[in-house]
Amino acid sequence: MNSSDNNYGVLLYNQGWEELDDVITPYTQNGKIGKYIYCKNLEFLHNFVVLSFSKNQVGADVKDEMSIWIPTIYVKFVTHASDVDNVKIGFI
């Protein structure tokens, strides 16, 4: 799933939000359900989830496309839409 049309919505457990706190903030958005992460791709690698972002999916401080790795134990829920309309994610 490496198409640029992929869109993922990721929710973390409270422990993940608390422990990652300021380091996850540039990648976090707020919606009707609270905090979530919106990214263009994700991949599970052993104990980590690799999240890849386009520039429009992150805060203004992040200038280029990039990826972050977060522990899988923090991931509560993942949803996917192959349409570029992020409303298809459901909770955004």
What does the pLDDT average to over 46-57?
88
Percent of the chain at pLDDT > 90 equals 45
Whole-angstrom distance between the N-terminal and C-terminal Cα of the chain? 21
63 by DSSP, 3-state: which? Answer: coil
Question: Within 10 Å of residue 5's Cβ, how many Cβ atoms?
Answer: 11
- List pLDDT tens digits, range 62-88: 677 889 999 999 999 998 877 655 555
> pTM score, two decimals?
0.80
**pLDDT for res 2:** 43
